[in-house]
Amino acid sequence: LTAASGGGIVAYADSSRAEEASEPPPRKKKVVVLGTGWAGTSFLKNLDSSRYEVKVISPRNYFAFTPLLPSVTCGTVEARSIVEPIRRMFDKKRKDVAYYEAECFKIDPSKKAVHCRSAVGTNLDGNGDFMVDYDYLVVALGATVNTFNTPGVMEHCHFLKEVEDAQKIRKSVIDCFERASLPNLSEEEKRKILHFVIIGGGPTGVEFAAELHDFLVEDLVKLYPAIEEFVKITIIQSGEHILNTFDQRIAVFAESKFQRDGIELSTGFRVIKVSDDSITVKCKSSGVETLVPYGMAIWSAGIGTRPVITEFMNQVGQGKRRALATNEWLRVRECDSVYAIGDCSSISQRKIMEDISTVFKVADKDNSGTLTLKEINDILEDICIRYPQVELYMKSMHMLDISDLIKGGVGDANKESMVVDIEEFKKALCHVDSQVKTVPATAQVAAQQGYYLADCFNKMDHCVEHPEGPLRLTGSGEGHHNFRPFRYKHLGQFAPLGGEQAAAELPGDWVSMGHSTQWLWYSVYASKQVSWRTRVLVVSDWTRRFIFGRDSSR
């Protein structure tokens, strides 16, 4: 068996097949998966585990359906309903899948091993440390919160990343109401205690604000009528608008709905310090600082890099990055046999200008030193697979075919006889790389990457050795033997806005907002559940909430 060294995926050379027959079956390759979030579980569910010896390492023995975490903060959905035990996801007949409840604290690519620490505190090696070696490593560790080193945030703010966070928030909200109900409090103190501040106006912050608002007006004010008038929710957002990754129409709709609901939007403010009872904000335009008294604060202003990833990036010479750089086949750059998927990674798309001479040479089949329109058209599909920015650029410039790109000014009559030399070819493509897009840190991307990578692993046997993937352009083999690079397919995104209303942005520039969209949201999120068990639980939680309201006990 030989492993392709530079490749997206390691392949077995066909020539070695015959010899294998007489030898004992080869040892199954060891695949170690770090993390059981969106990316890790999507990989595991789609991997044909009969081909590999699989070991899964994660400090949490369950998968959490993060899009419903904001609903857990207010008891709309119970925490138990959105988690699925990881062991239930394994195929029962497969004995070659093992799960270890532990945290990986070091990746050692030179020894092809990961160092782990037991999360349950058993005494394995004096301190619960152990080592697991791999043939292939799949890093799916996700991201952590990012406080941008703002003083006091770690100590005083809540976060919304894990199931435990959501449970803590739920308890704290009720705590605030009970505290504000105690005797002998001044009005000012009540206002302070019942001031809920959300820092960060992205999808998570906005959804939490909406959920909290519903909880307050639908359930809590009935139970605490005496203090209703003191309740306030504020969103602090440093940008000009909330939901700035969404279509402008959705941002406007959300902002006006929140205005009607009495949710205050402080846009254009940056939080510079948090103390136990006040938040210091700075107006970005005037530079004036103000103190905002609060009872409870939630920080949802960005994601950061986990220390184990930072350390690994330093080892492989990616020190200055925020996420692990992979190639388009999701293999970590400059690191054999290690793949990274989900929030901990980002694909660094190869620029076409770096390969321009090779592309030209491959296209120039007759070695004439010039390309005809036919020669370019023959390779165009390969180019667009390998360098998606070419297609994006043409789309953004409203170009219909490649001749528009190659010779902007050529009239229709001249197209067929067009020829370009290398310099003209370079000039035509020199702006294309500006269209390289990064994929967002979302569950949708993580799940698609997990699925794609599992597919690659499942088909490894069928691949012929190739240096950098699928194409005539960059590989030696025939196109069909090789793998297409990962391509993200955006299926749209939702923003639940409370009061049984939601906004959605769907493929094809389709935007929908209001009550019917909320029903679409219910059906999509019910269908996306990982198992029938959680689906039934989630739907019955929604039903219970409709009939009886939320549970407001701690």
Stretch of 22-30, 45-53, 60-68, 288-296 lying at the interface with ligand FAD (CB under 6 A): 60-68
Smallest separation (angstroms) from ligand FAD to the CB of 14:
35
Member of 31, 33, 69, 107 binding ligand FAD (CB under 6 A): 69
Retrieve residue 7's tokens.
């490749």
Should residue 342 be labelled a site residue for ligand FAD when binding is judged by CB under 6 A? yes
Question: Within its chain, how far is the Cα of 317 from the centroid?
Answer: 23
d(CA 291, CA 274): 9
Q: How far apart are CA 293 and CA 24, in angstroms?
A: 72
Give the Cα separation of 144 and 160 in Å (integer).
Answer: 10
Closer residue to ligand FAD, CB minimum distance, 317 or 440: 440
User: What gap in Å lies between CA 339 and CA 486, rounded to an integer?
Assistant: 12
Structure-token pair, residue 432: 């294309």
The answer to whether the CB of 340 falls within 8 A of the CB of 139 is yes
Binding residues for Mg ion restricted to 16-35, rule: CB under 5 A: 35
523 secondary structure, DSSP code: H
Contact 212, 196 (CB under 8 A): yes
| Residue 100 and residue 114 in contact, taking contact as beta carbons nearer than 8 Å | no
Q: In this chain, which stretch among 174-182, 253-261, 338-346, 544-552 interacts with ligand FAD, using CB under 6 A?
A: 338-346
What distance lies between CA 468 and its chain's CA centroid? 25
Among 4, 7, 8, 66, contact with ligand FAD (rule: CB under 6 A): 66
Residue pair 101/268 in contact by the 8 Å Cβ criterion: no
Which one among 4, 39, 235, 406 touches ligand FAD, defined by CB under 6 A?
Answer: 39
**368, interface contact from ligand FAD, Mg ion, none, CB < 5-8 Å by kind:** Mg ion
Tell me: does residue 57 bind ligand FAD (CB under 6 A): yes
59 interacts with, out of ligand FAD, Mg ion, none, CB within 5 to 8 A per kind: ligand FAD
Q: Identify whether the C-beta of residue 160 lies closer than 8 Å to the C-beta of residue 69.
A: yes
Q: Hey, what are 40's tokens?
A: 């890790």
* Three-class secondary structure of residue 506 per DSSP: strand
Which CB, 371 or 441, lies closer to ligand FAD? 441
Please classify residue 3 by burial: count the beta carbons closer than 10 Å to its beta carbon, then call 0-12 exposed, 13-18 middle and 19+ buried. middle
Task: Compute the Cα dihedral for 185, 187, 188, 193 and give only its sign.
Answer: positive
State which residue, 39 or 473, has the beta carbon closest to ligand FAD: 39
| Rounded CA separation 342/486 (Å) | 12
- 331-360 residues near Mg ion, rule: CB under 5 A: 342, 345-346
* Binding flag, residue 141, ligand FAD (CB under 6 A): yes
Count of residues near ligand FAD by CB under 6 A: 33
438 binds Mg ion (CB under 5 A): no
Residue of the chain from 8, 52, 55, 67 that contacts ligand FAD (CB under 6 A): 67
**Residue 70 in contact with Mg ion, rule: CB under 5 A:** no
**36 belongs to the binding site for ligand FAD (CB under 6 A):** yes
Q: Residue 119 CB, nearest distance to Mg ion (Å)?
A: 16
How far is residue 340's CA from residue 45's CA, in Å, rounded to a whole number? 17
Q: Which of 4, 7, 11, 40 binds Mg ion (CB under 5 A)?
A: 40
- By beta carbon distance, the residue nearest Mg ion is 37
Q: Is 103 in the site for ligand FAD (CB under 6 A)?
A: yes
66 versus 529: smaller Cβ distance to ligand FAD: 66
**67 binds Mg ion, rule: CB under 5 A:** no
CA gap 217, 203 in Å, rounded: 21
Binding positions for Mg ion, rule: CB under 5 A: 35, 37-40, 66, 140, 342, 345-346, 364, 366, 368
Binding positions for ligand FAD, rule: CB under 6 A: 34-40, 57-60, 66-67, 69-70, 103-104, 140-142, 160-161, 204, 306, 308, 342-344, 441-444, 446
